[in-house]
Amino acid sequence: MPEETHSETHEHGHEHHHHAAPTLNPQLTRTIEVAAPAEDVTKAFQAVLKRYTKLARIPGFRAGKVPPSLIKSRFAKEVRQEVLESLVSEGFRQALEAQRVQPVSQPQISELLLAEGAPLKFKATFEVLPEIDVTGYDTVSVERPDVSVSEDEFQAELANVLDHHATVEPVEEDRALVDGDWAEIGFKGQVQELAQVVGEEAAPGQPITGEDVLIEVGGKNTLQAFNEALRGAKVGQELSFEAAYPAEFGDARLAGKTVAYDVTVKAIKTKSFPERDEEFAKQLGPYSDWNDFETKLRERLAQRKKDALESQARDKMLEELVARYQFPVPESFVQQQVDARLERGLRALAQQGMSSDAMRQLDFGRLREAQRDQAVNEVKVSLILDRIAEAENITVTDDDLERELLILSIQAREPMEALRKRLTEDGSLGRIREQMRREKTGQALYERLAA
């Protein structure tokens, strides 16, 4: 049933409804007037009354023998609602066909007149798609990224694999730490904040603590201050020193900061890395020998880099398309996109352990507003890709859709048929096909322009 956002008049009275109508984009809003003749209204009332007379169970009357006048008074509201629903949806459908207009939002019904024996009249307001002329879409500039893997990148990836399978053993003899050793430490650090006012002590922040942390002495990823303090230290020794973090340090809480550390050396350990041989290669997977493993590792790394860089290049291409074509977007699409973004965000927060009580405290108005610009951008991208798909005759076959559903069923650990049934019932199947078509279009355009 379309939303009612109006005061409604029937018989000789007025019923006021105060539903908050969703905002529509004025540039894309259309209103059509719908009317149905009085005989259609009378027929609809009679048909619903007849059904109620047949089904109504009222004490003192045999089934099907309740007087119509009693049905009319007892079920007036329900009968009227059913007549309203059938006549409004049918009248709206016929008016759309006659005027050849395609709504993309729920119609808002206003100025509704419905009374038995009188014609039905109402207005329906809704959004339509914007006119988008994508002429010249195939002249947008695209830079093909360099996706070759450098030797340094490969060696870093290989070091990660070896490190993951390394064993750590304590050093038995009583000696001091030297470069190449791994120090197992406990630490407490205090970020040194500059006082806001000269001579005033800055309030200390939360201390940074850690237990049983392994640090490679002299390692290229170890801060110089740690290398210098740990070199020559023995088990049980307590050290105090300051470490300055570079501005580009990976952890934003520490980047550009100086931290005062108290460190206790708990143990000296050595790391043993596995031999790069056939036996280790076979432990890692279906590889015939070490060379085969390195070849496949290079291929996987190259594919990962290619996917990441090409994804960025495609996004840049889409940004250029959005900047090139100016058009209004349906507000209903924007709100759906905000909903989807918000739902993803809340799901991520739930996975990170946020309670539903804490979620209820969130300022949803502000959260929705914060998503708006991105949502508008995503809607524009979708509408442009839809037009390009039409121009290029790009379609998604049933086989393409089957493959996508198979991937989704594996990811969701849900049997294929149950997944298909659920997605068909909630109307998601069509949306998935549309999204696949957009992705296929974006990829095809990128491949052609980046050639």
- Count helices and strands (H / E) in the chain: 13, 11
Residue 448 and residue 430: Cα distance in Å, rounded? 27
Residue 262, C-beta contacts closer than 8 angstroms, at least 6 positions apart: 187, 188, 189, 238, 239, 240
- For 156-202, the DSSP string reads HHHHHHHHHT-EEEE--S-----TT-EEEEEEEEEE-PPPSSTTPPP
Phi–psi pair at 129, nearest 5 degrees = -70, 145
Confidence of residue 349 (pLDDT cuts 50, 70, 90): confident
Candidates 3.40.50.460, 3.30.1330.10, 1.10.3120.10, 3.30.70.20; correct CATH number of 327-449?
A: 1.10.3120.10
Percent of the chain residues topping a pLDDT of 90: 57
Predicted local distance difference test score (pLDDT) of residue 62: 64
43, pLDDT greater than 50:
yes
346: phi then psi, degrees, rounded to nearest 5: -70, -35
Per-residue model confidence as pLDDT tens digits over 272-287: 989 999 999 999 999 9
Dist. CA 47–CA 40, nearest whole Å: 10
Which tokens in the block code for residue 265?
Answer: 């050396």
Question: Once rounded to an integer, what is the mean pLDDT over residues 34-47?
Answer: 90
The Cα 9–Cα 432 span in angstroms is 42
Query: ∠ at Cα 120 (115, 123), nearest 5°?
Result: 125
Backbone angles phi, psi at 125, to 5 degrees: -115, 135
Given a contact cutoff of 8 angstroms between Cβ atoms, the answer to whether 189 and 259 are in contact is yes
pLDDT one-digit tens code per residue, 141-173: 888 898 899 999 999 999 999 989 999 889 888
Torsion over CA of 74, 76, 77 and 80, rounded to 10 degrees? Answer: 150
pLDDT at 75: 80
pLDDT score of 337: 93
CATH number for the region 3-127 comes to: 3.30.70.1050
pLDDT for the residue 382: 96
This prediction has a pTM of 0.71
**CA–CA dist 280, 295 (Å, integer):** 15
Whether domain 168-195+203-272 has CATH 3.10.50.40: yes
Specify the pLDDT at position 50.
83
- Which element (helix H / strand E) includes 260? strand 258-272
Q: Give the C-alpha separation, 15 to 82, whole Å.
A: 17
Distance CA 228, CA 224 (A): 6
* Structure confidence by residue, pLDDT tens digits, 63-94: 666 677 777 777 878 888 988 998 999 999 99
Closest alpha carbon to 322 in 280, 370, 378, 251: 378
Report the first-to-last Cα separation within the chain, whole angstroms.
50
Q: Do domains 3-127 and 168-195+203-272 have the same CATH topology?
A: no
| CA angle (383 as vertex; 388, 305 as ends), nearest 5 | 75
Q: How far apart are CA 375 and CA 367, in angstroms?
A: 12
Give the C-alpha separation, 19 to 3, whole Å. 8
pLDDT tens digit sequence for 199-232: 445 455 678 888 989 999 998 889 999 999 999 9
Q: Are 160 and 301 in contact (CB under 8 A)?
A: no
The stretch 57-67 carries a mean pLDDT of: 68
Residue range 5-35, pLDDT digits in tens: 333 433 333 333 334 567 899 999 999 999 9
Q: Which residue has the higher pLDDT, 91 or 56?
A: 91
How many other CB atoms are found less than 10 A from the CB of residue 218? 15
How high is the pLDDT of residue 69? 73
- Candidates 319, 295, 310, 314; CA nearest to 146 is 310
> Between residues 1 and 419, which one has the greater pLDDT?
419
- Pairing state between β 182-191 and 120-127: unpaired
Enumerate residues 6+ apart whose C-beta is below 8 A from 350. 356, 359
Mean pLDDT of the chain: 87
350-393: pLDDT as tens digits:
888 888 888 888 888 898 999 999 999 999 999 999 999 999 99
Q: What distance in Å separates the CA atoms of residue 170 and residue 270, rounded to the nearest whole number? A: 6
What is the average per-residue pLDDT within 116-123?
90
Average pLDDT for residues 315-324, to the nearest whole number?
Answer: 94
Pairing mode, strands 182-191 and 167-170: unpaired
User: Which residue is listed with tokens 């990962």?
Assistant: 304
Domain boundaries, the chain: 3-127, 130-166+276-326, 168-195+203-272, 327-449
